[in-house]
Structure formats: structure tokens, C-alpha cells
Amino acid sequence: MNNRLYGNLIFELSHAGRRGFTLPKNEFSDYALPSEMRRASDAALPECDEMTVVRHYTNHSANNFGVNNGFYPLGSCTMKYNPAINEETAALPSFEHLHPSQPEDTCQGALELMYHLQHSLAELTGLSDFTLNPFAGAHGELTGLMIIRSFHERNGQPQRTKVIVPDSAHGTNPASAAVCGLDVVEVKSTAEGMVDVDDLKGLLDDTIAAVMMTNPNTLGLFERQIPEIAQLVHECGALLYYDGANLNPLLGKCRPGDMGFDVMHINLHKTFSTPHGGGGPGSGPVGVRKGMEPLLPTCVEKGDGDIYHIRRNEAISVGASLGNFSVMVRAYTYILSLGRDQLKMVGPLATLNANYIKESLKDVYELPIDTLCKHEFVFNGLKDKSTGVTTMDVAKRLLDYGYHAPTIYFPLLFHESLMIEPTENESLDTMDAFIAVMRKIAEEAQTDPELVKSAPHNTPIGRVDDVLAAKQPVLTFMNVEC
């Protein structure tokens, strides 16, 4: 029996007059706020004792699900293990207590770390240098596109205002282009799930600023025609942008710079194991090929006498300070703790794991493009569509079995997309257990479809009405006036 005082909202536990903490009376009337800035009546705050508050939030936090709780196969998002050693280095007092406006000569160690991270990323990607300034993948895309725009303007080609994006692209690609004031043109995919080169040819002209590509693409497939695409794009005077949010499958195997990409971003919070989602802030460093380094917004350089300093490009500014420093420390720790040889294992292992799951399930789940995948792959729902059990139902039923759901209904190329990415960290046992559950759900869809359609059954909150929740969200506690 649950004998905990347990409320959905802290307001439900409120009792008038209860206090967890009492501030000393303000005896300094000089410090009173001007009356026009004060509220007319007291805020309707919950009134609770300290233990109730602590238990309320602790119990809620126990409902969270993260990579440390269980398997989290969210395709495209790379929910890989966040090693504890990263947290130790990020929490070193000399890093933790830094201030973004500190003079350069008082934080040489931090700048040195940033310099080495920039150059590690450059070596891993085959590009020339990186800025660590952007705060997320999408922010990196925007930064990269600002760099590309500036590149064309400097070359006297301001009419290059269009960006070509594949129809399989991550939604942030067209969004970033639009935020950058560029127009989006979509290029089709072939039946094999690759960029349609003939379609691309017809779109290339002197109004194109860039072609954005993800490789392996969001279907987890390696775009084999990249050399030809790079040549076509460069011949038309445009630049080739690489969405490297998820560089996992290539790590240690091949480099975007060698494939002909000019500008790219990487998500440190995916590929380089730093926490994300509900778990932490992001970082989306942007790299450029040789010759374009002066266009990077901020960059750490090494000067005479091994003194590190920050170079700023006043023409492109993408946010205060130099980025999320603690994320950089974690990513650099990850790179160093794996080392050159083990980093080379990341891509192959992530690829092996994804293919293992794909091959073990493709007799019961529909695999629209049946070929070798990289780090992730996409099913188009259950193979047998006659039961009416959808991808949404499978995802909800997985929660009952203690798994985080895969990515669903993305990419938009299929109606019932179910996108699975195990990452390199998972053991054979974990994957076998997941495969068994996925097969069990496929069986339940046959024998008891209602069970799957009404899932989840074992979670604190059952099936919510997604449409209603999105269109009419109730975000305040109705019984109090806030």
C-alpha cells in the first residue's frame, strides 16, 4: 500500500499557515521596493513543511527515466551513457567556479582545454578549426549558415539565399535556414532512401547558398554518392553543410572534411557522451574547412609563449560568452578517456548493435529499406497492419516493460516510423532482452490487440490524449489564483 503523502502538484499538499522556512523580518525599510513595483496582494504560493516539499520532489524525480535507469533507444538522439568521470572533471573547483567575463590571463587552463577540444574535433572531422560557442545542435546549424551567408557576401554573391535540404532531414535543418533568413528548397529521396542526385542537379544554380546533408542520413543509411554531390555543389559555387549532430557512426572511420564538406556542426551532447534531453545543457560546435577560419564567431588560439587567447569575429555573434564550458570539459574528458584506439571502436560498435537489433526484428516489424544500416534504422510499424496496432501503441506498450520508447513518427518518409538507435554502449544481454520484448509486443498485437492499444498500464499516468494535451494544455493549478 502506498502510505506516502503524495500529490501530483505541490499545491495539493498546501495547508494555510504551514512553513518550511521562515525568513528573518526585513528591518531595512530603505531597501523596500518602490510601491509601483510591488504586487497588490501576496502571491498564492503553496504552504508546506520542509519534509513534505523534499518528499514531493524526490518522489517525482523517481518517476524520471534516463540512460542510468534503463535502455533508451531513441533514434537520432543518441542517448548514450554519460560516464561518471565526466562529472568529476566538470566539477573540479577551478573549472566550476570560472566566470565567463574573467580576464584571459586568469583562466589559461580553461582556454587551453578549449583549444585542445577544438583541435581534437578538427582532427576527428578532417576540418580546419572549430568554434565551441553554439549552445545546441540547432544553434550550431544557425551559426554554420550565418558563416556560409557571410562567406558568399564577402565573395560578392549576396544573391545566394537558398538552402537545399533533403526531405529526410531533421526538422531543425529547414528551421535554422528560415531563422537565418534563407529560403528552403527540398530535394527528394530515392526509393533506396538516398538523396536523389538527378533531382539535386535540377535545383543547383547561382541562388543556392548551401546544401545541408546528414550522412549517414536520418534513415541510418550512408549516402554513397557524396563525392559526386560535393563536386556538383562546389561547381555551382555553393557550400556543402554537414549536419553532424550524431557523428557516432563515423567516429574513427571516416571524416566529413575528407568527403568534401565545408562547414559542419557536432552535438557534443550526443556523440561525445554529455547529458542531454532533460539531463543537461547542450553544445553544438561548428567547424569549417581551411581558409574559412576567420569567419568563426569565437575561437581560442595559441599565441607567442603558449599564451591562449580568444579571437572574436565581430561580424558574427551567436550568443553571450564562449558556450557551455562544463559540457566542453565533459566531452574532452570522454575523448581523452577513450583515447585514439578506442574512439575508433565507437562507430563500428554502434553500427554492429543497430544491425543486430534490425536483423533480429525485421520478420515481425516492417523494414522498408532492407539494407545494412549505420548507427540507427527505421521500421515502418508492425509488419502485420491488419490488427490496427500502430507505432504509437507499440511505443506506449514498451513503457510497460520498462523501456524508453524509440523515436516515433520521424523521419516523415513513412507513416509509421519507429526509429531505433542502441548506441555502442549496450551489452548483448540488454539488446536480447529488448528484442524479446519487441517480439512479445508483436505477438500481443495478434492475440490481444486491445491490450497494446490501451497501453501503458503500469505507469503512474496512463495514455494521455496527445492532441488535447498539445492544443489545450492545462499549465496552471486551477484552484489557486496565481
Q: Give the residue carrying C-alpha cell 516493460.
A: 401
Q: Compute the distance between CA of residue 432 and CA of residue 420 in angstroms, rounded to an integer.
A: 14
Residue 465: CB atoms within 10 A of its CB come to: 9
179-218 residues in contact with ligand PLP (CB under 6 A) are 214
Binds ligand PLP by CB under 6 A, chosen from 52, 125, 246, 391: 246
User: By C-beta, is 46 or 284 nearer to ligand PLP?
Assistant: 284
User: By C-beta, is 52 or 246 nearer to ligand PLP?
Assistant: 246
In the complex, least distance from residue 141 CB atom to ligand PLP, rounded to whole angstroms: 7
In the complex, least distance from residue 76 CB atom to ligand PLP, rounded to whole angstroms: 4
In the complex, least distance from residue 191 CB atom to ligand PLP, rounded to whole angstroms: 22
- Distance set, CA 459 to CA 401, 445, 452, 455, 462 (Å): 10, 20, 14, 9, 6
Specify the DSSP class assigned to residue 24: P
Angle formed at CA 357 by CA 449 and CA 248, multiple of 5 degrees = 130
Q: By CB under 6 A, which span of 25-33, 59-67, 243-251, 288-296 interacts with ligand PLP?
A: 243-251
- Distance set, CA 167 to CA 2, 188, 189, 236, 475 (Å): 50, 6, 7, 21, 34
User: By C-beta, is 172 or 390 nearer to ligand PLP?
Assistant: 172
User: By C-beta, is 136 or 452 nearer to ligand PLP?
Assistant: 136
In the complex, least distance from residue 147 CB atom to ligand PLP, rounded to whole angstroms: 17
Residues contacting ligand PLP: total by CB under 6 A? 14
Residue 463: CB atoms within 10 A of its CB come to: 15
User: By C-beta, is 170 or 397 nearer to ligand PLP?
Assistant: 170
- Distance set, CA 158 to CA 165, 179, 180, 230, 458 (Å): 20, 17, 14, 21, 57
User: By C-beta, is 390 or 423 nearer to ligand PLP?
Assistant: 423
Containing 145, the helix (H) or strand (E) segment is helix 137-154
User: What does the per-residue mask of binding to ligand PLP show for 76-115, with x meaning CB under 6 A?
Assistant: xx--------------------------------------
User: By C-beta, is 240 or 445 nearer to ligand PLP?
Assistant: 240
In the complex, least distance from residue 201 CB atom to ligand PLP, rounded to whole angstroms: 24
260-319 residues in contact with ligand PLP (CB under 6 A) are 267, 282, 284
In the complex, least distance from residue 471 CB atom to ligand PLP, rounded to whole angstroms: 24
Binds ligand PLP by CB under 6 A, chosen from 117, 138, 148, 292: 138
In the complex, least distance from residue 459 CB atom to ligand PLP, rounded to whole angstroms: 25
248 scored as a contact of ligand PLP (CB under 6 A): no
Written as nine digits, the cell of 20 is 518550511
In the complex, least distance from residue 269 CB atom to ligand PLP, rounded to whole angstroms: 6
SS3 408: strand
SS3 13: helix
Strand partners, 166: 187
User: By C-beta, is 243 or 262 nearer to ligand PLP?
Assistant: 243
Sheet holding 208-213, edge to edge: 129-131, 286-288, 263-266, 239-244, 208-213, 162-166, 183-187
Residues 280/327, Cβ–Cβ less than 8 Å: yes
Strand partners, 208: 162
Binds ligand PLP by CB under 6 A, chosen from 209, 245, 413, 420: 245
DSSP string, 357-413: HHHHHTTTB--SS-S--SS-EEEESBS-GGG---HHHHHHHHHHTT----EES-STT
In the complex, least distance from residue 270 CB atom to ligand PLP, rounded to whole angstroms: 6
Binds ligand PLP by CB under 6 A, chosen from 129, 243, 416, 444: 243
Parallel/antiparallel/unpaired status of strands 162-166 and 298-302: unpaired
The CA-based diameter of the chain, rounded to the nearest angstrom, is: 77
List interacting residues with ligand PLP (CB under 6 A): 76-77, 136-138, 170, 172, 214, 243, 245-246, 267, 282, 284
